[in-house]
Amino acid sequence: MNYEAVIGLEVHVQIKTQSKMFTRVAAGYGHEPNTLTDPVVLALPGALPVMNKAALDAIIKAGLLLGCKIAPVCKWDRKNYFYPDSPKNYQISQYDQPICLGGSVEIELPASARNLMGEHKKIPLTRIHLEEDVGKLNHGATDSLVDYNRAGTPLMEIVSDPAMHSAEEAYAYLTSIRATMIYGGISDCDMEKGQLRCDANISIRPVGATHLGIKVELKNLNSISFVRDGIDHEIKRQIAVVERGGTLVQETRDYDGQTGTSQSLRSKEMAHDYRYFPDPDLMPVRVDAEWKTRLQAECPELPFAKQRRFFEQYQVPYSLTSVLVWDRMLADYFEAAAQLAGPGKAQAVGNWIVNDLLRELSRGSAAAVGDAALRPRSPARDGGVAAPADTHALATSKVRPAHIAALVGMVEAGTVLTNAAKEIFIEMAATGDQPAAIAERRGLCAAPIDTNELETWCRDAIAANPKAVVEFKSGKDSAINALKGPVMKAAKGKANPKLVDETLRCLLAVM
């Protein structure tokens, strides 16, 4: 029998705020254990929570970016359970009235080739709610230590409908969310720092069936590739159980990405009763239209929309936009350069950025962050959405959009030749000087050629290469290249190739 997987994801995203969700103490990563604490974080007797408005702003923005309906009131509930990483032994969360309802995440599935656009889909969302993160347990041989630095960090949970059917879709979904959050300045989404975490609910059913099968919750998918591998593994495991004639049980399983195996954590019978109730320490917060309008104005254009616009407005092909749009700073950089370069030059601008600028940037900071991380890519390719560390190199690069625009202009005008332009670019990256100044200084300008002299060189070349002429005449267009070599040689490499091409064609045409 053929089976179809049904997958829903619960994605936790840490919101990038100065302070914690319910107190003024700083939020952060990598500090000495238990230094980002205060009476509220440690749940000392008498401490009370006060909501961080910046966190509410951020989740509303996330909701607006994903097309969610924003609830008129932000209401808080307590989720009660005992665990040492939870200082109050309840988590402040949102139970029956999440701040964001509905909405969807646009994804792109991989195509047959890297330079082709893949299929797009919209994965519907159930809800997004706001809560506080818990502390971190470090288990030793004989004891366990708790670090409460993370406790109380604003956290949002994005819950999808059970609407995905493959690990690839889940993977594309997660990378799209990640790009959206980074774009919106909502989170850095660094999975290694736990800023993005993912649990998956997975079931299978015979192809064509509409009911939902027994659901397994897969936890600890804590790297972007573990999400794909873990879900793949779980789908295969469930099919194997059913094929063997076994029965699936509703349970929570822990995925070990290192070994590629999973084991049961708890069954449905052991599920918690969280005893949710409205938190009496926090007043509901009204979110009015004015508040939403203000945040709507701060919402950036998302990558897929940008990609479509770049194609329509600048006629830039997918092979370039799939690189350009996934980093907001890079996309803005491109657009600034394209505007400065003027009509018809955007693709050339894109080529310089994607091929030369990014190489220069990765060369400059490869030691710090590693080459692989530096090239922003479409999530459909490998999920390598640019992290802010990458854009830092762009922000400090000496090559500004005006440089690129000027260089493209020079090449198009024939003032410099392609090889010379490459040299100019490298020096531009090192010095930040204007391309015209570099060309002048280094003598890289294409020499102004006497047309009579050029015509003479062309005639000489035609006379010296009858074989190429015959081939060209018989329809082999590329044969013209054999004529260009001697002309360029005679011109000592400083002739404008476009002019050479035109002159040769004119002469050949009248022969």
Which residues contribute to the site for another protein (CB under 8 A)?
39, 42-51, 78, 80, 82-84, 87-90, 144, 146, 273, 275-277, 280-283
CB of 82 to another protein, least distance (A): 5
CB of 439 closer than 8 Å to CB of 415: yes
The DSSP letter of residue 19 is: B
Nearer to another protein, 267 or 315 (CB): 267
CB of 276 to another protein, least distance (A): 8
Nearer to another protein, 43 or 507 (CB): 43
CB of 22 to another protein, least distance (A): 9
E strands, 65-166, are: 69-70, 73-74, 77-80, 90-93, 100-101, 104-108, 120-132, 136-139, 144-147, 154-160
**Stretch (H or E) spanning 310:** helix 303-314
**Spatial distance between the Cα atoms of 64 and 287, rounded to a whole number of angstroms:** 13
CA dist list (Å): 120 to 111, 166, 172, 304, 487: 10, 14, 10, 9, 50
Phi, psi angles (nearest 5°) of residue 440? -60, -50
Crossing angle of helices 466-473/497-509, nearest 10°?
80
CB of 196 to another protein, least distance (A): 27
CB of 126 to another protein, least distance (A): 20
The DSSP letter of residue 354 is: I
Nearer to another protein, 142 or 452 (CB): 142
CB of 168 to another protein, least distance (A): 37
**Spatial distance between the Cα atoms of 18 and 504, rounded to a whole number of angstroms:** 66
CA dist list (Å): 449 to 25, 259, 417: 70, 67, 13
CB of 54 closer than 8 Å to CB of 16: no
Enumerate the H helices of 14-86 as residue ranges: 53-65
Longest dimension (CA), the chain: 99
Nearer to another protein, 44 or 413 (CB): 44
Nearer to another protein, 90 or 472 (CB): 90
Structural tokens at position 497 = 């190739």
Phi, psi angles (nearest 5°) of residue 369? -120, -10
CB of 489 closer than 8 Å to CB of 465: no
CB of 85 to another protein, least distance (A): 10
CB of 217 to another protein, least distance (A): 18
Nearer to another protein, 51 or 216 (CB): 51
Nearer to another protein, 144 or 225 (CB): 144
Nearer to another protein, 40 or 469 (CB): 40
Nearer to another protein, 142 or 418 (CB): 142
Nearer to another protein, 87 or 103 (CB): 87
CB of 236 closer than 8 Å to CB of 218: no
- Cα angle: 221, vertex 227, 231; to 5 degrees: 105
**Spatial distance between the Cα atoms of 103 and 128, rounded to a whole number of angstroms:** 9
Nearer to another protein, 88 or 494 (CB): 88
CB of 102 to another protein, least distance (A): 26
CB of 161 closer than 8 Å to CB of 126: yes
**Spatial distance between the Cα atoms of 75 and 13, rounded to a whole number of angstroms:** 19
